[in-house]
């Protein structure tokens, strides 16, 4: 481990699975020194992977510099580099991986590839103190209910098609709403829903432990186009229906695993209504409820840095020649030897 000048060991983590480019720096004891995120906001439409990747390449240097400045350390102080190896959008992942490989080679320190979904759970445990939670991870790309069992985070329930966050985003775009830095589509829909009063009947699709949002999305867009309902009521009904679905599945996982903690994370975790619902089922099953603060709930580099440390301490390193990105790397494919 060349270049280590201080007594502390540090890891720099790079996150670039989708529209956010993030760099985090953590000490080996789990103190997060920096967590800088630059979000790509498309001028219109959804995320174009190539455009997002271009954004990441453009802001990469600046975000790295800012992270080092915030942490008060120099590149030579780092012990390892970790990066989001998947799952996610190809061009975005490859941009982050390229930066990570270059840094690790230049500094001649180990590289650690991290699973993005595992990282969300690990930073959740670090920040909330939860030890063995049922995790509901809801974002633009993921809707997963998971819990640890026999060496891995098992997936108890997930979406059969689109992710919950994506469902809200697509509806918001169809409704002609706009997002901006600090106020993503989810927040815009939440604000409108707060003024909704009338519950409109929409498809509620829970299949076993899994759920489907595509039928719900189509139905609510069709109603929107008919123009017979107030947008506030549509947002309200969409939220109530979709959130009830994920809450039912989370409760089923909680009843099944009999775990005593529930962790809510991902971009959609910021929604106050969803927080209330998940809190209610946690109380119902005498489980502790925690929700991640937004900074660590959205895609971020700190979670990658911290998970990189956990993996590295358990002998996981990723040689450059094996550091290709894995676009569809499932949460339940990853061995997590650091969890008891």
For residue 145, give Cα distances in angstroms to 26, 53, 229, 264.
27, 28, 33, 10
CB of 14 to other proteins, least distance (A): 20
84 binds other proteins (CB under 8 A): no
Q: Which two tokens stand for residue 149?
A: 């069992």
Choice between 258 and 295, CB closer to other proteins: 258
Contacts of other proteins in 37-66 (CB under 8 A): none
What is the contact mask toward other proteins in residues 112 to 141, using x (rule: CB under 8 A)? -----------------------------x
What is the distance between the alpha carbons of residues 222 and 336, in angstroms, rounded to a whole number? Answer: 44
Q: Which two tokens stand for residue 102?
A: 């270059």
Largest separation between any pair of C-alpha atoms in the chain: 67
197 binds other proteins (CB under 8 A): no
Q: Which residue in the block uniquely carries the two structure tokens 């640890």?
A: 148
Q: Which of 31, 62, 191, 207 binds other proteins (CB under 8 A)?
A: 207
Handedness of CA 312, 90, 215, 294 (dihedral sign): positive
254 binds other proteins (CB under 8 A): yes
Q: Which residue in the block uniquely carries the two structure tokens 């390229």?
A: 98
Q: Which residue in the block uniquely carries the two structure tokens 């937004």?
A: 294
Q: Is 211:157 a contact under the CB 8 Å cutoff?
A: yes
Total residues in contact with other proteins, by rule CB under 8 A: 45
Q: Which of 277, 292, 297, 304 binds other proteins (CB under 8 A)?
A: 277
CB of 243 to other proteins, least distance (A): 8
Say which residues have a Cβ less than 8 Å from residue 159's Cβ, sequence separation at least 6: 143, 210, 211, 212, 213
Query: By CB under 8 A, which span of 32-40, 168-176, 222-230, 273-281 interacts with other proteins?
Result: 273-281
Closest residue by Cα to residue 174 from 46, 270, 47: 46
Across the strands, what pairs with 84? 114
Element (H, E) at 131: none
CB of 173 to other proteins, least distance (A): 20
259 binds other proteins (CB under 8 A): no
Q: Which of 79, 241, 265, 318 binds other proteins (CB under 8 A)?
A: 241
Element (H, E) at 215: helix 214-226
User: What dihedral angle (degrees, nearest 10) is formed by the CA atoms of 45, 50, 54, 59?
Assistant: 70
First to last CA, the chain: 28
Query: By CB under 8 A, which span of 22-30, 200-208, 224-232, 306-314 interacts with other proteins?
Result: 200-208
Contacts of other proteins in 209-238 (CB under 8 A): 209-210
CB of 91 to other proteins, least distance (A): 11
Q: Is 32:17 a contact under the CB 8 Å cutoff?
A: no
Query: By CB under 8 A, which span of 5-13, 53-61, 154-162, 219-227 interacts with other proteins?
Result: 154-162
Q: Which of 1, 194, 199, 320 binds other proteins (CB under 8 A)?
A: 199
Choice between 172 and 277, CB closer to other proteins: 277
Query: By CB under 8 A, which span of 2-10, 99-107, 118-126, 206-214 interacts with other proteins?
Result: 206-214
Strand, coil or helix: what is 79? strand
Return residues touching other proteins (CB under 8 A).
Answer: 87, 90, 141-143, 149-150, 154-156, 158-161, 163, 199, 201, 204, 206-210, 240-241, 244, 247-248, 251-252, 254-256, 276-278, 280-281, 284-285, 327-330, 332
């Amino acid at each position: 481990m060349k270049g280590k000048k201080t007594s502390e060991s540090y890891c720099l983590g790079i996150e670039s699975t989708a529209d956010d480019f993030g760099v985090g720096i953590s000490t080996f004891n789990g103190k997060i020194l920096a967590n800088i995120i630059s979000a790509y906001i498309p001028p219109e439409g959804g995320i174009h992977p190539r455009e997002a990747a271009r954004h990441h390449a453009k802001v990469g240097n600046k975000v790295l510099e800012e992270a080092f400045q915030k942490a008060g350390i120099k590149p030579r102080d780092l012990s390892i580099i970790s990066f989001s190896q998947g799952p996610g959008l190809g061009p975005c992942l490859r941009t982050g991986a390229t930066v990570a490989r270059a840094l690790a080679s230049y500094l001649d320190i180990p590289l650690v590839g991290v699973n993005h979904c595992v990282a969300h759970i690990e930073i959740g445990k670090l920040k909330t103190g939860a030890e063995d939670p049922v995790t509901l991870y809801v974002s633009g790309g993921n809707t997963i209910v998971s819990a640890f069992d026999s060496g891995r985070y098992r997936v108890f329930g997930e979406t059969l098609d689109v992710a919950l966050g994506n469902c809200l985003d697509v509806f918001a775009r169809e409704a002609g709403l706009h997002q901006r830095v600090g106020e993503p589509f989810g927040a815009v829909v939440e604000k409108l829903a707060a003024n909704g009063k009338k519950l409109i009947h929409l498809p509620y699709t829970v299949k076993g432990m899994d759920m489907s949002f595509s039928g719900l999305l189509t139905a609510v867009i069709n109603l929107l186009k008919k123009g017979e309902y107030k947008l506030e009521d549509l947002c309200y009904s969409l939220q109530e229906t979709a959130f009830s679905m994920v809450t039912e599945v989370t409760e089923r996982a909680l009843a099944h695993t009999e775990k005593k903690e529930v962790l809510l994370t991902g971009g959609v975790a910021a929604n106050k209504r969803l927080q209330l619902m998940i809190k209610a089922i946690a109380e119902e099953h005498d489980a502790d409820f925690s929700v991640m603060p937004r900074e660590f709930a959205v895609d971020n580099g700190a979670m990658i840095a911290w998970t990189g440390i956990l993996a590295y301490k358990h002998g996981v390193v990723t040689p450059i020649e094996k550091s290709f990105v894995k676009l569809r790397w499932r949460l339940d494919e990853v061995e997590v030897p650091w969890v008891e």
